[in-house]
Structure 1
């Protein structure tokens, strides 16, 4: 969910039309309609021009994900070397 400032520079409708033109999964929502698609957003903070909702997107807390993946790597016998210098990926 994203919205733009409530001023002359607001481009939310143009961005929405562009996303539509390239086949992106997008919805332009009035502030009062935001709660119907996502929780926890106070509609009063969404600019009157509306918000774009992209249902196919998500976010990840990268430090938590890295910690989880490193833990799984260790559990499977992996060894982590730090401060080892440059590394390259070699495909066999």
Structure 2
């Protein structure tokens, strides 16, 4: 498990890792680190800023329109919770 702290400020950044957050001190480096973390398949992440699902994995899918309990992403990258609602 990797505790990502401020690497991800929103589940939307899973699908759009190039999106910066206002408090990123070094936006270019933040994008690089976020990209590196998201490139590692099936790693369990603890995301403190995630709403509803703190623990999850990043998964790449062919189709995301029906990604149940996941943030939908046109890029084919989704946030898949490890545990049910509320992280339990």
Do they superpose with TM above 0.5?
A: no
TM-score by length of 1: 0.30
TM-score (norm 2): 0.31
The structure that is helix-richer by fraction is 1
Which has the higher Rg, Structure 1 or Structure 2?
1
